[in-house]
Amino acid sequence: MDLLLLLVQGLNGLQLGIMLFLMAAGLTLVFGIMNVVNLAHGSLYMVGAYLAAAFQEWTGSFVLAVLLALPVTALVGVLVELVAIRALYPRDHLDQVLATFGLILFFNELVRIVWGKASRFMALPAGLAGHVQLVPGVRYPAYRLVIVAVGLLVAASLYVLITRTRVGMLIRAGASNRTMVSALGVNVRLLFTLVFGLGAALAGLAGLMAGPIVSIESGMGEPVLILTFVVIVIGGIGSIRGAFVAAVLVGFVDTIGRAFLPPLLGAILSPQTANQAGPALASVLIYVLMAGVLAFRPEGLFPARTG
């Protein structure tokens, strides 16, 4: 197997993993601290992408679009928390699933009403549209490297926030034992709104970074949401570290699987069978991984919950 090819695919896997981490971090916090299953997380990703595209069209600048879309998406998240999610804290998970599923339908229709049915377009900034020579003979899109860099920066910032600040301490405590935190006199309501806003901002960041490279359309959040749930289940609910490890793992497994499994099967089985089995197996590989992890560690790789 070509080593250079493996290197590039590895980089692809890392990049997918970083994008998944941005989504998973927000979702695992909401699930871990507030114990709310938030299916509308994918919708916040979509809203981030749409807002960035709209701001870019309005201002003509990619940087301005990013700087504007991020806080606006966080604001949308806070609004959603105040209006819808707050009522769901005492309810059981099924009610939360139903309610947030309704939010998905709402947002999907909203973007269609505001921006129409056609896919929106977002241009890559001119400076990032080119390629970088990593190693002689290997060209990698510059923008994807930027995604990896931004993702790692956010991961590092989140680490500092969670482990070194007071707010981070409260978040960790809330993920570990919510009742105790509330009993100790912390304004849990404010904490929850903050966490949800942070999650929304992260999802929006993932969305606006994905904007130039994917189709910005109604319903774009759902495929990503499914992957995100797989990541947080593997990583452990409520754990940022778990989300990071699991996201990168899922990114790698999915990418390497899609790239090398079908040709591998083609070498063993007949081409006809390989063509049928290969893509099918590659697409379920991450679910097989999830099942495997759950079989050995049902709480996920780095569980945060103790109470």
Partner 1 sequence: MRRIGGLVLCALVLAAWPAAAADRVKVGFIATFSGPIGLLGQHMHDGFLLGIEHSGGKLGGLATEVAKEDDQLKPDVGLQVARKLLEKDRVDIVVGTIFSNVMMAIYKPVVDSKTFLISPNAGPSPIAGAQCSPWFFSASWQNDGAHEAMGKHVQDKGLRRVYLIAPNYQAGKDALAGFKRYYKGEILGEVYTAINQPDYSAELTQLRAAKPDALYVFQPGGMGVNFVKQYAQAGLMQEIPLFSAFTVEETTLKGIGDAAVGAYGTAFWTPDLDNPVSKRFVADFEKKYGYTPSLYAAQAYDTALLIDSGIKAVNGRLDDKEGLRAAFRKADFKSVRGPFRYNTNHFPIENFYVYQVVKDASGKLKLENRGVVLTNHSDVYAKDCPMKW
Residue numbers at the binding site for partner 1 (CB under 8 A): 2, 5, 8-9, 12-13, 15-16, 19, 108, 112, 117-121, 123-124, 129, 131, 139, 141, 143-144, 210, 212-220, 222-224, 254-256, 258-259, 262-263, 275, 278-280, 283
- Written as one letter, the residue type at 182 is S
Q: Distance between alpha carbon 211 and the CA centroid of its chain, in Å?
A: 14
Q: Facing residues of 140 across strands?
A: 132
CB of 33 to partner 1, least distance (A): 27
C-beta of 87 vs 226, nearer to partner 1:
226
> Is residue 245 within 8 Å of residue 235, measured between CB atoms?
yes
C-beta of 89 vs 115, nearer to partner 1:
115
> Is residue 101 within 8 Å of residue 109, measured between CB atoms?
no
C-beta of 93 vs 131, nearer to partner 1:
131
C-beta of 2 vs 267, nearer to partner 1:
2
> Is residue 279 within 8 Å of residue 37, measured between CB atoms?
no
CB of 145 to partner 1, least distance (A): 12
C-beta of 79 vs 129, nearer to partner 1:
129
CB of 18 to partner 1, least distance (A): 12
- Stated as kind and residue range, the H or E segment containing 47 is helix 41-59
User: If DSSP codes are grouped into helix, strand and coil, which group holds residue 120?
Assistant: strand
- Phi and psi dihedrals of 29, rounded to 5? -65, -45
CB of 97 to partner 1, least distance (A): 20
**SS in 3 state form for 125-171?**
CHHHCCEEEEECCEEEEHHHHHHHHHHHHHHHHHHHHHHHCHHHHHH
Q: Locate the DSSP E strands across 20-136.
A: 131-135
CB of 211 to partner 1, least distance (A): 10
C-beta of 75 vs 142, nearer to partner 1:
142
Total residue count of the chain as it appears in this document = 307
CB of 77 to partner 1, least distance (A): 21
C-beta of 191 vs 232, nearer to partner 1:
232
CB of 143 to partner 1, least distance (A): 7
C-beta of 10 vs 168, nearer to partner 1:
10
- Written as one letter, the residue type at 155 is A
Give the relative orientation of helices 166-176 and 3-34 as an angle to the nearest 10 degrees. 80
CB of 228 to partner 1, least distance (A): 12
Q: Distance between alpha carbon 173 and the CA centroid of its chain, in Å?
A: 23
